[in-house]
Amino acid sequence: MTPHAHAHALTVDAGIRDLRSADRLLQQLAAELELPEGVFGCTHLVRGDRPRVAVSLSLPSEPYLRTAWERLAAGGHVELSAGLPDAFGRAVVYPGASVLTGTMAVAELVAGSAIDHVTVLGAPGVPDPGTRMVTRDHVRPQWQQGELVLAATPARGGTLVPFESPDPTPCCADH
């Protein structure tokens, strides 16, 4: 089991309809709540009659959960619920996320963050640990079977880039 699965979690449903806004909300909440290292903040696609993006915070202990809940409720985040909406969150706030900038080896990326491993779309196995990853300062791994996995694609010069682009084209921005 991962720290994400064991953590005390809460979900904030602010009716957000796009990932960029959800990312901003998570980063804003992390700053306002002065969250400790070890917190995971994820986005979750909510389907149904009112499609939207909810965000979750997985906190290290019950006191952090209680404090976050009280502060969020006082701040007008009216749709709060206990737990995670699903097990497949897209991580925005996670240990090591702030240092995943520029270009680095896959091994450095994994060693310096909560990411368990990197996969390359369309390629079998995992990339060589020395392969260079151009992060574009936008690394959004996803929970898959209890592991935080970063999907990447091949790029120029034998490098890799995270699959998710920091600046998606408008036709694909809301998918």
pLDDT, tens digit, for every residue of 54-75?
999 999 889 999 999 999 999 8
Residue with tokens 């900038």: 101
- pLDDT-based confidence at 125, cuts 50/70/90? confident
Helical H segments across the chain, by residue range: 3-6, 19-32, 62-74, 106-111
Residue 77 has pLDDT above 90, yes or no: no
